[in-house]
Amino acid sequence: MASSEQLASDATPVTETVGAPNLASPSQAPMSEGSNSKRRPKRGVPEGLWLRCPGCAAVIFRNESEKRLNTCPECDHHFYVSASQRIQQVLDEGTFEEWDAHLMPTDPLHFKDQKAYAERLVAEQQRTGLSDAAITGGGMIRARRVAIGVTDSAFIMGSMGSVVGERLVRLIERATTEHLPLIIISGSGGGARMHEGILSLMQMAKVSAALARYDSAGGLFISVLTNPTMGGVAASFASLGDVIFAEPKALIGFAGPRTIKATIRIELPKGFQTSEFLVEHGFVDRIVPRAKLKSEIARTIDYCGW
């Protein structure tokens, strides 16, 4: 019996990634100041002018990378981009109109771990300039009007709580009534947000139900997976696209690699839970490098006759 209990409790953290962020994150991305701080400061070189690519370890100019939509000029490693940068990269200039920005997160559980959730929210809002982990709105992609949502992995791991769920559902419902193609770009290592408990879990069902209605109405949903897309986000809207794109080498999966390793106690195969792994197993339609994303979305919309 002891062994069965043991195994049962090992199996429990399954759910870890549904709420849980133990994954590669913006804080690991080279954009963060922190990653440079341990290295010897170079005299005369302004802070953050250089970065080291986590993909190939080359030292590169930040400017150069930014020109290439935050990818490495040496190895094409895709760095973190914020939701607003993403919108700039994908939409025609000046066409974005944000919807439902007035929805604000609150603390329904009065959740407190080592820090109160209410305080965490304020700190995250100040740090990222976002009100919550998703931005939604309307805009144009190569002159085609679309409804677009983007989750930002910088805000509590891009996790989905009530505001993310509600913004996405309102986006989907509006895309349904206005007959717009729908694009959702996911960057969520955290899945469903633990700090809002069961309310977060239920957002998965709520968003999926809205997508089912959009689908029944003939909608076209293009889901774009970026690094990382895990847990409850992967297990809801991110996996429900009519067409699913992924950026190269993004981490995508249900359970976090650490949880899996702790449960089955074997080395994970090379390239496990990457975009390429998902293509190989049939769960992603195409890997689309960031530079091609806009044109690939436009082309898909055309093919589907929208």
Partner 1 sequence: MATQDSPASGLAFEQPIYDLEVRIRELEQAGNKSAQTEDQLRSLRRELAEVTRKVYSELSPWEMVQVARHKDRPYTRDYLNLAFEEFVELYGDRRFGDDRAILTGFAKLDQYKVMVVGHQKGRTYKERSACYFGCAHPEGYRKALLKMRMAAKYKLPVICFIDTPGAYPGVGAEERGQSQAIAENMYEMSRLDTPIICVVIGEGGSGGALGIGVGDRVAILEHAYYSVISPEGCAGILWKSGAHAEKAAEALRFTSKDLLEFGIVDTVLEEPLGGAHRDHHRMAARLKMFLIKTLRELAQKPSAELLEGRYQKFRQIGVFLETPVV
Q: Footprint of partner 1 on residues 245-274 (CB under 8 A)?
A: 252-256, 259-260, 263-264, 266, 268-269, 272-273
Mapped onto helix, strand or coil, the DSSP state of residue 92 is coil
Minimum Å distance from CB 60 to partner 1?
Answer: 32
Count Cβ atoms below 10 Å from residue 243 Cβ, excluding itself: 19
Residue 2 has φ and ψ, to the nearest 5°, of -60, -40
Minimum Å distance from CB 17 to partner 1?
Answer: 8
Which of residues 19 and 139 has its CB atom nearest to partner 1 in the complex? 19
Minimum Å distance from CB 305 to partner 1?
Answer: 23
What is the distance between the alpha carbons of residues 294 and 259, in angstroms, rounded to a whole number?
35
Helix (H) or strand (E) holding 296: helix 290-303
| Sequence-ordered list of residues with C-beta below 8 angstroms from that of 76, at least 6 positions apart, any chain | 55, 248, 289
What is the distance between the alpha carbons of residues 183 and 288, in angstroms, rounded to a whole number?
14
Q: Which of 138, 149, 187, 232 binds partner 1 (CB under 8 A)?
A: 232
Largest Cα separation within the chain, whole Å, is 65
Count Cβ atoms below 10 Å from residue 208 Cβ, excluding itself: 16
Regarding 111 and contact with partner 1 (CB under 8 A), the answer is yes
The footprint of partner 1 on residues 18-77 (CB under 8 A) is 18-22
Minimum Å distance from CB 252 to partner 1?
Answer: 8
Regarding 4 and contact with partner 1 (CB under 8 A), the answer is yes
Regarding 8 and contact with partner 1 (CB under 8 A), the answer is yes
Q: Which of 118, 140, 199, 304 binds partner 1 (CB under 8 A)?
A: 199
Minimum Å distance from CB 192 to partner 1?
Answer: 5
Regarding 193 and contact with partner 1 (CB under 8 A), the answer is yes
Minimum Å distance from CB 241 to partner 1?
Answer: 10
CB-CB contact of 214 with 171 (8 Å):
no
Regarding 237 and contact with partner 1 (CB under 8 A), the answer is yes
Minimum Å distance from CB 135 to partner 1?
Answer: 15
Mapped onto helix, strand or coil, the DSSP state of residue 196 is helix
Q: Which of 201, 220, 222, 287 binds partner 1 (CB under 8 A)?
A: 201
Residues 152-191 as x/- pattern, contact with partner 1 by CB under 8 A? ----------xx-xx--x---------------------x
Q: Which of 41, 198, 270, 305 binds partner 1 (CB under 8 A)?
A: 198
Minimum Å distance from CB 195 to partner 1?
Answer: 8
Mark the segment that binds partner 1 (CB under 8 A) among 78-86, 101-109, 135-143, 181-189.
101-109
CB-CB contact of 241 with 220 (8 Å):
no
Which of residues 76 and 276 has its CB atom nearest to partner 1 in the complex? 276
What is the distance between the alpha carbons of residues 290 and 186, in angstroms, rounded to a whole number?
13
DSSP code, position 158: G
CB-CB contact of 28 with 242 (8 Å):
no
| Sequence-ordered list of residues with C-beta below 8 angstroms from that of 46, at least 6 positions apart, any chain | none
| Sequence-ordered list of residues with C-beta below 8 angstroms from that of 1, at least 6 positions apart, any chain | none
Which of residues 79 and 277 has its CB atom nearest to partner 1 in the complex? 277
